[in-house]
Amino acid sequence: MANEITSLPQDGSKAGVDIKAYLDADEKKSLLRLLTAGSVDDGKSTLIGRLLFDSKKLYEDQLTALERDSKRVGNAGAGQIDYALLLDGLKAEREEGITIDVAYRYFSTNQRKFIIADTPGHEQYTRNMITGGSTANLAIILVDARTGVITQTRRHTFLVSLLGIKHIVLAVNKMDLVAFSEEVFNKIRDEYLTLTTQLGIEDVTCFPLSALEGDNVVERSERTPWYKGPSLLEFLETVPIHRDRNMTDFRYPVQYVLRPNLDFRGFSGKIASGIVRKGDEVVALPSMKRSHVKSIVTYDGELEEAFCPQCVTLTLEDEIDISRGEMIVHPDNMPHIGRHFTTMLVWMDEEPMDTAKQFFLKHNTNTTRATIAAIRHRVDVNTLEKKEGKPFQLNEIGQVDILTAKTLFFDAYTKNKATGAFILIDPITNNTSAVGMIIEPLDESSLENDLLPTLDLKKLNIGEAHYAAIETAVKELARQGLEVKIIK
């Protein structure tokens, strides 16, 4: 009986619960990452607060603090709880009644675990929304039932499509202010579905809600008898996300070469996508050397197969020189290999874009120098109109061509988010200047290695006997992202 406790299940009955079985089941719950987005005062923070409150996921001290803060600074009516205060934690947010920074909240139900990113609605905080949505599986786009689809709704939907989020929930909030009208809901739904069709978004689910009063948030509301779907929480608990990961294209960026003793040499990292099995033939990039997987090692022992996003160590049957930044893939399923590609870029730096500057480009475990070779166009995120290609300012988005000094191994972002995304880092301030989503590779036949410093071995006049040592040193520099072009 040491492993049993008496608990109150959700049906209110008392029952003995095995602690170990309960914890094991809790560990196996799937995790749904989601973000909320919408115009100012559409009720994003209130909706999440209501989800936490009605699902009984608040501790007593949190509830006490919420009731106290609602009386002091809340925007709800007298005697009411302001659920938005659960997320708007910054002083400026509470004073202005808006969300400024990205707020993350975690909770779980009997079916699933959730991480919610409450993102700001202002256009000036576009980069905050990009940050919050970069890992999301699902996006909740809120609209006010009184105003319907507005400019901000279109902007946020465009950003969600840009990030490749596959599941979208349209939450038509404040239905209590339009008398829960089915006609109003249907009009907003149809207009929004027209927008998502234009953007190529396929999975859209619409809900009539009142976040303040809790209608259709956790429980179905009797005030919307015409709505036959589930409540929002019921949908979030059951929406299928297991197919969102790319299990087809095996991509294994090497993070570390593990040598705990003389008899073991493995390549450690996180599987970015796909599945690998013991005995699989693999190829190392960029050397193109082939081998077979000898073992898949983890802290808990060896595995017969592994898949994304597991962290494992692979050992190979052959001695191959592989280091950090290189990639192991299947020979019949290769990524693009190159230095020149076009990408959608979100500018995140206070400093305007300087096309003459060389940046550090971080792509998985690979780091290299890069320049913005060309600006194709900027996108007006409010109208989705393409504008002339001039250097970006903070929060601007557009399509550019990137040229790197070092060869990268990448896929299109729409096909594989793990190998299609990168960041640009300012080499002076170390700030993240931009985030990019690769569209496709570009022709490299006319490219010169203009980004690479050149080392002419003949001019050094040191004799061919020392060439091998020089080449070894240059290779070590390349592993650190400082590639040098050698002329013999």
pLDDT tens digits for 307-343? 998 999 999 999 998 999 999 999 999 999 999 999 9
Determine which of 29-43, 151-165, 284-298 has the lowest per-residue pLDDT on average: 29-43
What pLDDT score was predicted for residue 245? 86
Give the residue-averaged pLDDT of 429-458: 77
Give the residue-averaged pLDDT of 165-171: 94
Owner of token pair 């802290």: 299
Give the residue-averaged pLDDT of 356-368: 93
What pLDDT score was predicted for residue 24? 74
How many other CB atoms are found less than 10 A from the CB of residue 335?
23
- Distance between CA 299 and CA 447 in Å, rounded? 45
Give the residue-averaged pLDDT of 217-242: 92
Query: Over the stretch 50-109, which tens digit does the pLDDT of each residue have?
Result: 787 777 766 666 667 766 766 666 555 545 666 666 655 433 433 444 444 566 778 888
What pLDDT score was predicted for residue 59? 61
Pick from 283, 279, 324, 333: nearest CA to 306: 279
Give the residue-averaged pLDDT of 373-384: 88
What pLDDT score was predicted for residue 132? 78
Give the residue-averaged pLDDT of 398-426: 94
Q: Quick check: 154 pLDDT over 70? A: yes
The answer to whether the CB of 320 falls within 8 A of the CB of 287 is yes
- Distance between CA 280 and CA 315 in Å, rounded? 11
Kindly state the tokens that stand for 484: 């040098």
Please, which residues bridge with residue 408 across strands? 338
What pLDDT score was predicted for residue 62? 67
Give the residue-averaged pLDDT of 101-119: 79
Q: Quick check: 11 pLDDT over 90? A: no
Give the residue-averaged pLDDT of 15-23: 69
Q: Quick check: 208 pLDDT over 70? A: yes
> C-alpha distances in angstroms, 283 versus 247, 291, 333, 414, 450?
18, 6, 10, 24, 29
Q: What percent of the chain has pLDDT over 70?
A: 77
Buried b / exposed e over 151-176, threshold 16 CB at 10 Å, is ebbbbbbbbbbbbbbbbbbbbbbbbb
What pLDDT score was predicted for residue 7? 42
Give the residue-averaged pLDDT of 350-371: 93
Query: Over the stretch 364-373, which tens digit does the pLDDT of each residue have?
Result: 999 999 999 9
Q: Is pLDDT larger for residue 173 or for residue 486?
A: 173
Give the residue-averaged pLDDT of 295-312: 93
**Residue 275 burial (CB < 10 Å; 0-12/13-18/19+)?**
middle
Question: Which domains, and CATH codes, for the chain?
Answer: 4-238 (3.40.50.300), 251-329 (2.40.30.10), 336-441 (2.40.30.10), 454-487 (no CATH)
Owner of token pair 């091998």: 468
Which own/partner pairs from 452-456 qualify as long-range (CB within 8 Å, at least 24 positions apart)? Answer: 452/405, 452/483, 452/484, 452/485, 453/484, 453/485, 454/484, 454/485, 454/486, 454/487, 455/484, 455/485, 455/486, 455/487, 456/487
How many other CB atoms are found less than 10 A from the CB of residue 362?
17
Q: How many Å separate Cα 442 from the centre of its chain?
A: 25
Confidence category of residue 447, pLDDT binned at 50, 70, 90: low
Query: Over the stretch 233-282, which tens digit does the pLDDT of each residue have?
Result: 999 999 988 888 889 999 999 999 999 988 899 999 999 999 999 999 99
DSSP three-state, residue 182: helix
- Please name the helix (run of DSSP H) or strand (run of DSSP E) that holds residue 269, with its range, or none: strand 264-270
- Distance between CA 179 and CA 291 in Å, rounded? 67
* pTM for this predicted structure: 0.78
What pLDDT score was predicted for residue 104? 77
Give the residue-averaged pLDDT of 114-139: 78
What pLDDT score was predicted for residue 351? 93
What pLDDT score was predicted for residue 2? 41
